[in-house]
């Protein structure tokens, strides 16, 4: 009887877990759909800004920007690590954090001092455990706002231009498809001046610029940095929600399988108990004859 009671309690607990994980899967699916829509909507703007920078750069001649190179060598790098505020999203946080930790170790081997900033509670907790304190802990939630990201990006550009850092990088999960998310460490600053000149000067000379191409680039290049960083946050949110959706789907299926096994064990235990009771009754009746 005690065994049957224990199995029944486990069946109830597993059923509750299955309902919770199913609900979390449905919520993650809804959030993923909304996040994917936002990421798709922002990507054409990001690509258009980059393309426009390339076209204008082709006509800018020897244009130089303070964002193309650090004004002085400091041996310091700023690394922003983007993770989630909540867990239960599979290997999402673990993959990003391992990539970021490997990057910091490689930088130290190259005599570079890495300063951390985190976006997401999981990164903050992880680096505290690793005895690595983050300079700032940022929070953007499930819906990063362009204005909030722009404030951080503008601060990064100001600090880089002032010579505080040799390099500014971002560790995040890049979304490629529903089946493929890749943890990466991307160099945000300095920009490679050659990479902006994607259009030949000959084709760019067909344009007349007012104001000058250099003045236009002074406005476009910071916007390109901001939109690139905003796209990183959107990709991170999409990756987080799809990996949580997949993790909760697997958890629900495992809970249902365990529930079936427990039901089978319960039926066997119940059948054994009934058989024992019948045997006792028959034995008692035979003893009275």
Return the ∠ at Cα 92 (arms to 90 and 96), rounded to 5°. 150
Alpha helices per DSSP H over 110-143? 121-129
pLDDT at position 197, please? 47
Choose the weakest-confidence range: 90-104, 173-187, 191-205, 229-243. Answer: 191-205
Query: Which architecture, in CATH terms, is 27-245?
Result: 3-Layer(aba) Sandwich (3.40)
Report the interhelical angle of 213-288 vs 146-161 (nearest 10°). 120
Domain residue spans of the chain: 27-245
Give dist(CA 80, CA 169) in Å, integer. 6
- Between 196 and 125, where is the model more confident? 125
Query: Average pLDDT of the chain?
Result: 87
Q: Is the N-terminal amide bond of 211 cis, ω within 30° of 0?
A: yes
Confidence bin at 114 (pLDDT 50/70/90): very high
pLDDT digits (tens, 9 = 90+) for 242-264: 999 999 999 999 999 999 999 99
Q: CA dihedral in degrees (97, 98, 104, 105; nearest 10)? A: 150
Confidence bin at 219 (pLDDT 50/70/90): confident
Count of CB atoms within 10 A of residue 289's CB? 4
Give dist(CA 131, CA 185) in Å, integer. 21
Look at residue 26 and tell me whether its pLDDT is greater than 90.
yes
Alpha helices per DSSP H over 60-119? 92-109
Look at residue 34 and tell me whether its pLDDT is greater than 60.
yes
Residues 6+ apart with CB under 8 A from 46: 227, 228, 230, 231
Look at residue 38 and tell me whether its pLDDT is greater than 50.
yes
Confidence bin at 3 (pLDDT 50/70/90): confident
Contact by Cβ (8 Å): 214, 142: no
Look at residue 55 and tell me whether its pLDDT is greater than 90.
no
Predicted model pTM: 0.84
pLDDT digits (tens, 9 = 90+) for 195-209: 444 444 444 446 677
Which residue reads 């529930």 in tokens?
Answer: 259
Q: Kindly state the tokens that stand for 280.
A: 């006792």
User: What's the rounded mean pLDDT across residues 17-39?
Assistant: 94
Confidence bin at 61 (pLDDT 50/70/90): low
Q: Give the distance from CA 181 to its chain's centroid.
A: 9
**DSSP annotation of 142:** S
Choose the weakest-confidence range: 39-48, 79-88, 147-156. Answer: 39-48
User: What's the rounded mean pLDDT across residues 118-147?
Assistant: 91
Residues 6+ apart with CB under 8 A from 70: 160, 163, 165, 166, 167, 190
User: What's the rounded mean pLDDT across residues 83-100?
Assistant: 93
Give dist(CA 140, CA 142) in Å, integer. 7
């Amino acid at each position: 009887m005690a065994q049957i009671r224990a199995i029944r309690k486990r069946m109830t607990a597993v059923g509750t877990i299955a309902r919770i994980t199913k609900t979390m899967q449905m919520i993650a699916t809804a959030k993923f759909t909304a996040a994917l829509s936002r990421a798709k909507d922002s990507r054409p703007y990001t690509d258009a800004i980059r393309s426009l920078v390339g076209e204008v750069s082709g006509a800018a001649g020897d244009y130089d920007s303070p964002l193309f190179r650090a004004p002085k060598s400091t041996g310091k790098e700023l690394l922003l690590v983007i993770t989630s505020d909540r867990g239960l999203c599979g290997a999402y946080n673990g993959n990003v954090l391992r990539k970021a930790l490997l990057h910091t170790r490689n930088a130290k081997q190259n005599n570079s001092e890495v300063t951390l900033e985190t976006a997401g509670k999981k990164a903050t907790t992880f680096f505290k455990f690793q005895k690595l304190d983050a300079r700032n802990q940022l929070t953007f939630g499930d819906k990063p706002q362009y204005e909030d990201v722009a404030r951080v990006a503008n601060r990064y550009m100001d600090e880089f231009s002032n010579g505080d850092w040799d390099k500014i990088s971002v560790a995040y999960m890049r979304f490629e498809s529903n089946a493929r998310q890749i943890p990466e460490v991307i160099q945000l600053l300095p920009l490679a001046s050659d990479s902006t000149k994607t259009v030949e000067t000959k084709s760019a000379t067909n344009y007349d610029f007012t104001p000058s191409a250099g003045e236009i680039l002074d406005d476009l290049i910071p916007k390109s940095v901001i939109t690139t960083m905003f796209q990183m946050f959107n990709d991170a949110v999409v990756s987080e929600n799809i990996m949580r959706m997949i993790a909760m789907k697997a958890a629900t299926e495992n809970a249902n399988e365990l529930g079936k096994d427990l039901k089978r064990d319960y039926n066997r235990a119940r059948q054994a108990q009934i058989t024992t009771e019948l045997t006792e009754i028959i034995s008692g009746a035979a003893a009275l004859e």
